[in-house]
């Protein structure tokens, strides 16, 4: 039986993360997924994006759904259904909460009429989606399971009875005719001295018809329409409610049927459809987010996912957050890790794309473990238990700890949380100490990474770290040989240049090639 559009079965559903993962800001995931969460805040999607999956079958289940929803017409149908059913579910939840709390203000025929209206709307939306899906063969397990559930549901006795009873109620109420008599001065509207009485219609002349005949003689040719749309909600709930009570006494059979309908069908919104209406927005939000990257000519792929570290790669990978924020100039990169390799050390010139590469590496893995497409041409990515980041920060002079101590304490926190199934991204730490101390501490760090067995990507100015055992390999930023001031933003597998620390010191003291040339130009 169909369980969820997010999971193939209940056993695949993890414990939800309710808080934003710590890696979000360092990887700029808050600029991508955080925007979706905010835009879709009414649906409460945060936990869906905050909880990567660790089960390969569940990941592939989502990938198939994401791929099938590349069809804009299908997305539009599901979006309309989702918005309607989710809204109805919330309206009915508010009504039921009010009734269960004993709030007499809502225990009236106005509320019961709303229940009937909502049931009518619900029946229409369910039938409309079934009409869109009828005859359509779903390719993904998830959407095929939902479609089968939907058609079984609309053919069920409970759904048929709901629609039939709403139709009969509508027909019965459409035949009710009554007269309202007002007596007293027109000032009674403000003083409360106006008397209102109601009785069944018994052939009395229609004042509306009389008025229309009276003004017919003034009509000359075509006229402009001056009709005004009135709100659906009553202007005076107390008066409307009292009027309905009187009508219920006059038309006891029709209103008795309405009472019975509400007693029997108050919980008419199906739980599976209600859950689907929220969960499908996880995919719709992602597709909305990726649509505008087409202007860069950048693509997405559905990666293979693996629990093995034998071979992990991505070709044509890029930083999705960066691609959403700039108009042109996105450079793609490749990475490939082959066992026994597990630790990537990246060196190169400042502002050369090293941090962007690190973010792209982390983003690709995170999106893959959500079961979504990833910003790359082709990929096979690792199923991690968590992504841990340690990016260098500006020293906070309000804190007693110096920057080096802060770096080391944060590094210890990362190592305490990490396992051999983690991904660790370290970016430009140990920059606040001497070269000899940085080398010593960096060596200890690499020893701990090697012992841990996690996948590590380390951006550093310490070239020597790239030669730390068989599990480590080097990548470096390419330099434009004709003009060193121009960055290529290409990161390739190659030995370090041996100049990373010198470039770090030159940049720190304003002696880099770019800064010197800028001064000379002035």
- How big, in percent rounded to 5, are the helix, strand and coil portions of the chain? 50, 15, 35
Look-up of token digits 């309202």? 180
Phi/psi zone of residue 348: left (φ > 0), alpha (ψ -120 to 50 degrees), beta? left
Please tell me the predicted confidence (pLDDT) of residue 204: 79
Separation CA 54–CA 370 (nearest Å): 9
- The structure tokens listed for 66 are 């994401």
Separation CA 436–CA 285 (nearest Å): 49
**Burial track 412-436 (b if 16+ CB lie within 10 A, e otherwise):** eebbeebeebbbbbbbbbbeebeee
**Burial track 159-168 (b if 16+ CB lie within 10 A, e otherwise):** beebbebbee
Torsion over CA: 16, 20, 22, 25 (sign): positive
Beta bridge partners of 347: 476
Length of the chain equals 522
The mean pLDDT values, 10 residues at a time, for the chain of 522 residues are 94 92 95 95 96 96 98 97 96 84 72 93 97 95 97 96 95 90 64 75 79 77 64 66 86 92 92 97 96 73 97 96 84 96 92 93 98 97 96 58 82 95 91 82 92 95 88 90 78 78 54 61 62
Q: For residue 206, give every residue at least 6 positions away whose Cβ sits within 8 Å of its Cβ, in sequence order, or none.
A: none
Separation CA 504–CA 460 (nearest Å): 10
Let me know if 468 is exposed, middle or buried by CB neighbors in 10 A (0-12, 13-18, 19+).
Answer: buried
Segments making up each domain of the chain, as ranges: 53-176+251-296, 298-521
419 — phi, psi (to 5°)? -130, 180
Please tell me the predicted confidence (pLDDT) of residue 349: 82
Q: What is the 3-state secondary structure (H, E, C) of 136-192?
A: CCCCCHHHHHHHHHHHHHHCCHHHHHHHHHHHHHHHHHHCCCEEEEEECCCCHHHHC
Alpha carbon distances (Å) from 6 to 3, 97, 126: 9, 28, 20
Best CA proximity match to 504, nearest among 442, 419, 420: 442
CATH 3.40.50.300 is right for the domain spanning 298-521: yes
Q: By three-state DSSP, how is residue 252 classified?
A: helix
Q: What is the CA radius of gyration of the chain?
A: 33
Number of Cβ atoms within 10 Å of the Cβ of 216: 8
- The structure tokens listed for 430 are 């140990």
Separation CA 163–CA 182 (nearest Å): 38
Pairing of the two strands 378-382 and 387-391: unpaired
Separation CA 354–CA 372 (nearest Å): 25
Distance of CA 204 to the CA centre of its chain: 58
Q: What angle do helix axes 109-133 and 141-154 make, rounded to 10 degrees?
A: 130
């Amino acid at each position: 039986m169909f369980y969820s559009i997010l999971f193939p079965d209940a056993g695949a559903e993890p414990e939800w993360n309710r808080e934003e993962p710590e890696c979000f800001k360092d990887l700029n995931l808050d600029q991508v997924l955080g925007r979706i969460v905010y835009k879709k805040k009414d649906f409460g999607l945060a936990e869906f994006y905050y909880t990567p999956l660790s089960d390969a079958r569940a990941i592939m289940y989502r990938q198939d759904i994401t791929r099938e929803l590349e069809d804009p017409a299908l997305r539009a149908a599901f979006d309309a259904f989702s918005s309607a059913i989710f809204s109805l579910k919330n309206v009915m939840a508010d009504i039921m909460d009010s009734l269960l709390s004993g709030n007499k203000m809502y225990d009236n025929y106005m509320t019961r009429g709303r229940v009937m209206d909502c049931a009518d709307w619900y029946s229409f939306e369910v039938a409309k989606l079934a009409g869109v899906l009828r005859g359509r063969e779903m390719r993904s397990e998830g959407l095929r399971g939902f479609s089968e559930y939907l058609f079984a549901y609309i053919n069920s006795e409970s759904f048929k009875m709901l629609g039939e009873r709403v139709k009969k109620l509508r027909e019965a109420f459409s035949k009710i005719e009554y007269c309202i008599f007002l007596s007293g001065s027109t000032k009674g509207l403000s003083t409360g001295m106006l008397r209102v009485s109601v009785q069944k219609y018994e052939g009395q002349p229609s004042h509306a018809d009389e008025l229309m005949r009276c003004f017919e003689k003034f009509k000359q040719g075509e006229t402009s329409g001056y009709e005004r749309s009135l709100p659906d909600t009553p202007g005076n709930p107390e008066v409307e409610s009292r009027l309905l009570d009187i009508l219920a006494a006059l038309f006891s059979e029709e209103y008795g049927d309405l009472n019975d309908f509400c007693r029997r069908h108050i919980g008419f919104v199906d739980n599976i459809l209600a859950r689907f209406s929220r969960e499908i927005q996880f995919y719709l939000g992602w597709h909305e987010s990726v649509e505008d990257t087409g202007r860069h000519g950048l693509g997405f792929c559905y990666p293979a996912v693996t629990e093995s570290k034998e071979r992990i790669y991505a070709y044509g990978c890029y930083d999705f957050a960066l691609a959403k924020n700039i108009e042109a100039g996105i450079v793609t990169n490749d990475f490939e890790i082959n066992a026994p390799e597990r630790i990537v050390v990246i060196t190169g010139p400042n502002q050369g794309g090293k941090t962007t590469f690190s973010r792209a590496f982390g983003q690709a893995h995170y999106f893959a473990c959500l079961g979504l497409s990833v910003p790359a041409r082709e990929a096979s990515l690792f199923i991690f238990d968590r992504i841990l980041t340690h990016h260098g920060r500006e020293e906070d002079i309000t804190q007693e700890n110096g920057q080096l101590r802060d770096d080391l304490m944060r590094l210890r926190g990362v190592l305490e949380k990490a396992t051999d199934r983690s991904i660790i991204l370290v970016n430009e730490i140990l920059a606040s100490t001497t070269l000899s101390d940085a080398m010593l501490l960096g060596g200890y760090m690499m020893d701990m990474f090697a012992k841990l067995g996690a996948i590590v990507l380390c951006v550093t100015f310490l070239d020597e770290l790239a030669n730390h055992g068989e599990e480590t390999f080097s990548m470096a930023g390419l330099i434009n040989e004709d003009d060193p001031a121009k960055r290529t933003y290409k990161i390739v597998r190659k030995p370090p240049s041996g100049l990373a620390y010198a470039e770090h010191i030159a940049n720190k003291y304003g002696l880099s090639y770019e800064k010197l040339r800028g001064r000379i130009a002035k």
